[in-house]
Amino acid sequence: MSTNVVPMSSTGRTESDEEALLARAKAGDEGAFADLVTSHREELRAYCYRMLGSVHDAEDALQDALLRAWRNLPGFEGRSSVRTWLYAIATNTALDIGKRKSRRELPVSFGPAAGRGDDLAAPLEDALWLEPFPTSWLPGGASAPESRYEQRESVELAFMIALQRLPALQRAVLILREVMGFSAVEVAGQLDTSVAAVNSALQRARATAREGMQGPSQRATLATLGSRRTRALAQQFADAIERGDADTLLSMLTDDVTWSMPPIPTWFAGKVAVRDWLVRDPLTARWRRRPAEANGQLAVAGYLFSTDQGQYVPCVIDVLTLREDKIAAVTAFLTTDVQERPGGSTAPSGAEVFARFGLPAAPD
């Protein structure tokens, strides 16, 4: 007895299913098009975030790319997979948006550290800063066999900053080849260039990225510590801030710790400067803290009590960068509920930001 194996696509659909959806979509069936692209949305959004460093810009790029795909679908000849074709469109869309934007930074690379007793500067415009990305938004499943970076590892803050320092074309090549696992031939087709140009750009991108990344990834560090120890670290950090316990909090930090608060450009380096600021500012406030996950790293969400509103409001997502079992950096992404942004800001409210991370608008 013979058996016929029906090939499966990377989305879990059979190739015949995808071909049927594609035919209906090309005939003008919007529902079929939505079904065709749904399984690619998460990874495309994460890809646009890696390219642009902003959740807001990534959402815009994704919507624009899918609109372009719908409009150009009749001309799709099937010379590549639908996934490869969608990535070509998303890449061009992200590159177009990136031309109108400055590269995304974190305060620690934007200017010098503050001195003891320095006040916080006024927040700068949103477009300057890297934005936090919910780990839960990453696509499930294993990375492609050709990938050098695991999905969580490829949105870590250090990797994201390294990406932002690359020229846009090199950034696209590095992500497409070493995160998404496309071949050099596929990437050359997506970028309308030669394989030799892709390989050359990849070599330069690798060298630049290595310069900005030292030590083990946060994924490796968290795996070494184990889930029980990392949960305990997050809870200890949260409890210390709620109690205003500077000694416990400082004991968790490395001697060369940095603490930054985008969109505020001011940041502090070293335990002495960090302690001086903590005891005269954040540790004097009333907090409620909850564990979170951002950029594939350990994170803690903070609700600050507002005397004006008489309640706790979403304030900050603290992304913790660990070195062994100590915190080497706190990147505290502040929300609009706490810091008034410059005129024309399109930043979402604190409740909207917290909702991205599966967090309620108010603590329990």
**Assigned domain for 45 exists:** yes
Residue-averaged pLDDT of the chain: 90
When pLDDT is cut at 50, 70 and 90, the band that residue 4 belongs to is very low
162 and 73 together in one domain? yes
d(CA 299, CA 330): 9
Which pLDDT value is given to residue 353? 94
157 and 107 together in one domain? yes
User: Per residue in 184-237, pLDDT tens?
Assistant: 999 999 999 999 999 999 999 999 888 877 789 999 999 999 999 999 999 999
Domain encompassing residue 160: 15-132+143-211
Estimate the crossing angle of helix 184-191 against helix 82-99, to 10 degrees: 50
Sequence-separated (6 or more) residues with CB below 8 Å from residue 104: 52, 53, 54, 128, 129, 130, 131, 160, 164
What is the mean pLDDT of the segment spanning 146-159? Answer: 86
200 and 225 together in one domain? no
The pTM of this model reads: 0.91
Task: Quickly count: other Cβ atoms within 10 Å of residue 168's Cβ.
Answer: 15
d(CA 106, CA 212): 13
d(CA 89, CA 65): 6
At 162, list the tokens: 């390294």
The number of domains in the chain is 2
**Assigned domain for 96 exists:** yes
d(CA 53, CA 163): 9
- Locate all alpha helices (DSSP H) within the chain, ordered by sequence: 15-26, 30-38, 41-52, 55-72, 82-99, 107-110, 157-164, 168-178, 184-191, 195-211, 218-225, 227-243, 246-251, 271-280, 350-356
Question: 40-44, 73-77, 209-213, 315-319: which range is least confident on average?
Answer: 209-213
203 and 265 together in one domain? no
Which pLDDT value is given to residue 305? 95
